[in-house]
Amino acid sequence: MKKSAVSVAAVVLVAPALAFAATYDLDPVHTTVSFSVRHMMVTNVRGEFQKVSGTIEYDAKNPQKSVIKVAIDPATISTRDEKRDAHLKSPDFFDVAKFPTMTFESTKVEAAAKGKLKVTGKLTMRGITKEIVLDVDGPSAELKDPWGNIKIGASATATVNRKDWGVSWNATLDAGGVVVGDEVKIQLDIEAAKHTDKKT
């Protein structure tokens, strides 16, 4: 009996230290989802979405069990030009009135090189869902900020073809070529706080 009791106690004490995924909430103030696309065949235009939310369920010992969910408000797009932003919100591009949310949800997480992950998931935009692959640096080890919040950080990149999601508007240049490139480079810089139910 004593031996069994000791064994049960040991399991109870060790259980919290076993590998369980912790949940982290994206910090919208310190998280950026940006993109770049070729313009006029001569340069790149960059922009970002200013409203992002989501969660990361992550266990450093078992990264393959991780789950990432992100929601983006395309109406918050900013390319530092109001006229261009209005066009991007129109049916020619994101059609934000009809499709007010873009989402990403991971379907597979794999360890890559040291400190790196490869995350496969479903990106839904304009009502169309396609698979993309993110190359991730991180996540970092947990750190405590000056206010006592536990934070992790990561960055990720992917390259997609906008036409796969029905974003096909373009115009032809007099000298040949087009105004907007099809290839879009995505960059995510993420900071997330460990979830707590504590009331503030």
* pLDDT for residue 170: 82
Q: Is 53 domain-assigned?
A: yes
**Mean pLDDT for the chain overall:** 88
Q: Is 2 domain-assigned?
A: no
**Domain range for 181:** 19-194
Q: Is 186 domain-assigned?
A: yes
pLDDT in tens, 100-121: 999 999 999 999 988 999 999 9
Q: Is 6 domain-assigned?
A: no
* pLDDT for residue 21: 80
pLDDT in tens, 23-74: 999 999 999 999 999 986 678 999 999 999 999 999 888 999 999 999 999 9
Mean local confidence (pLDDT), 135-143: 95
Q: Is 91 domain-assigned?
A: yes
Bridge partner residues of 109 (DSSP): 119
* pLDDT for residue 100: 98
Q: Is 23 domain-assigned?
A: yes
Query: Count of CB atoms within 10 A of residue 87's CB?
Result: 14
How far is the C-alpha of 61 from the C-alpha of 191, rounded, in Å?
20
What is the DSSP secondary-structure string of 28-95? TTS-EEEEEEEETTTEEEEEEES-EEEEEEE-TT-GGG-EEEEEE-GGGEE-S-HHHHHHHHSTTTT-
Q: Is 4 domain-assigned?
A: no
We report the CATH number of the domain holding residue 38 as 2.40.128.110
Q: Is 200 domain-assigned?
A: no
Residue 197 has pLDDT above 90, yes or no: no
Mean local confidence (pLDDT), 168-184: 81
* pLDDT for residue 200: 44
Structural domain total, the chain: 1
- Give the C-alpha distances (Å, rounded to integers) separating 93 from 36, 87, 98, 121: 15, 7, 11, 22
pLDDT band for position 11 (cuts 50, 70, 90): very low
* pLDDT for residue 176: 62
